[in-house]
A = this chain, B = another copy of it.
Amino acid sequence: MTAPDIWADVPILTAKSRIRHLEAGEMLFHQGDPVLFMFQLKTGRLRLVRFLEDGASVVLHVARPGDTFAEASAFSAVYHCDAVADLASEIEAVSKADFLAALTTDPTAFLGIAQALAGQVRDLRARAELRGIRSAVERVLAWLRMQASGNPPTVRMRRTWTEIAAELGLTREATYRALAELSRTGRIVRQRGGEAIRLATTSLSPETRG
């Protein structure tokens, strides 16, 4: 569900990658530094921050384990933001030169990368759509529907609700309340002590509009 490994399909690269360790507060790169590496966060947490000329800052992204970040830098000469470790972190680094070399050498590698990027775009757009739903109950329900498979649609919980709440842009309390409400009104059934959730079949009568 989260960002897949962009270069997982390129063995040349995974072979050449190195692990870097950062303590909380350490910088991985600065705005304006020449791009030499591309990264994937293994453990910890890291944030990408852009500083304005007057010193104010904006957070562009908070990377979590598994996330690749600064992909756009691969096509840029310099980084356009700072990367700071939030917590002690381990980061896999792939040289940009190797990356570009692999691409020109092996066209199929390119397909894999474009595919991974397109997949991320799809995921991010779906998430944005989700966050556009105002009602907490409807938002949680929509999320469940996106995760569901089978008939009746069922979701197996793989992460904590606390984590999911953050993805949904809700507090965990609001999420629990939404779940309680969905349960109460019979729109979901929580099974096996919360390990799975079955969605009630929607009586699709006047709901034919997109």
Which residues of A are at the interface with B, using a C-beta cutoff of 8 A?
A: 47, 49-50, 52-62, 71-72, 74-75, 84, 86, 103-104, 107, 110-111, 113-115, 117-122, 124-129, 131-132, 142, 145-146, 148-153, 169, 199, 201-202, 204, 210
Check B204–A55 contact: CB distance below 8 A.
Answer: yes
Check A169–B132 contact: CB distance below 8 A.
Answer: yes
Count identical subunits in the complex. 2
**Minimum CB–CB distance for A88 against chain B, Å:** 15
Check A153–B53 contact: CB distance below 8 A.
Answer: yes
Check A54–B201 contact: CB distance below 8 A.
Answer: yes
Check A126–B56 contact: CB distance below 8 A.
Answer: no
8 A-B pairs with least C-beta separation: A117-B117, A124-B124, A53-B151, A75-B115, A72-B118, A71-B118, A72-B122, A56-B202
**Minimum CB–CB distance for A22 against chain B, Å:** 13
Q: Which of B56, B61, B119 contacts A145 (CB 8 A)?
A: B56
Check B107–A103 contact: CB distance below 8 A.
Answer: yes
Check B210–A52 contact: CB distance below 8 A.
Answer: no
Check A54–B107 contact: CB distance below 8 A.
Answer: no
Residue of B nearest to A58 (CB): B145
**Minimum CB–CB distance for A24 against chain B, Å:** 10
| Cα-based distance from A122 to B71 in the complex (angstroms) | 8
| Cα-based distance from A53 to B131 in the complex (angstroms) | 23
**Minimum CB–CB distance for A39 against chain B, Å:** 13
